[in-house]
Structure 1
């Protein structure tokens, strides 16, 4: 098997998608490894989990730091770790266009809707209110436009009568955990072949 591609994961909260990526990376045939988990939130439980699993972590609260400067400080850690790909996993910060353009084609995000529907927040409530038969999740490449990059994969999740935003979110999260690791692995393999 080719050498594993080092990946850095950005989190702001519980880090369940980061955990899904990390545990998927333990499979013998996984083409990537998680080398660093970064956060803008010192209380993010995703950081504690990464530390417990022996993964390097870095945290830099963003308050009082200009966006481009904060991004550059985070990016310096990513470069130092040797990561070649960035996975955003519940990172609740809009990134500067400069940072995004430097990682074009190598930064992925997971979003809890079937893009291009419902960019931004409250995606599950919006899908239910619209009477959609499905909610779901999307993994896409990150561009300067919010939740707008090329779609790499989607999983529809049925909306059940009586669903609330919370009950739908819980099922979509299960789909997210499966979709993200699968799509990241496929994208990493594409990048590996492009480098050869």
Structure 2
């Protein structure tokens, strides 16, 4: 039976040496790229989450604003009825006591409706402000994620060109991304 053996060419030898050798430059960049990619995934998740929250809050503000509008329309209808009752008072031969009671009732009902409409307007404004605040957070998370993506691209270029200054530039841009994320995370 014939023995099989494999002949390695010079290229194969270099690939094996590179894979198992002590290339600290490549190893450091590979580890940092993995860390940056992981952080970028977390920042991306946070950016998406805050964007969804901002949309939900904006939607809630619109719903509450519509409810307030309904109350203001109801208030206007009661005002119209009150005005008609006041007009009826000056007509000859009408039951003035009935129309005065209606006017008093409409005034009372209008106050309740007005109070509810004002509360809904206030609530709508609060939901709008909450949406704006969360949307601002979304922008910071997106900026942090973008900075990490740029840092990963710089790390790839540094690996290809073997330029130390690009490696440090990559770390610097990643640091900016982490700082942006830290501002959102800790200043909320």
TM-score, with length taken from structure 2: 0.22
Give 1 or 2: higher strand fraction: 1
**Whose helix fraction is larger, Structure 1's or Structure 2's?**
2
TM-score, length of structure 1 as denominator length: 0.21
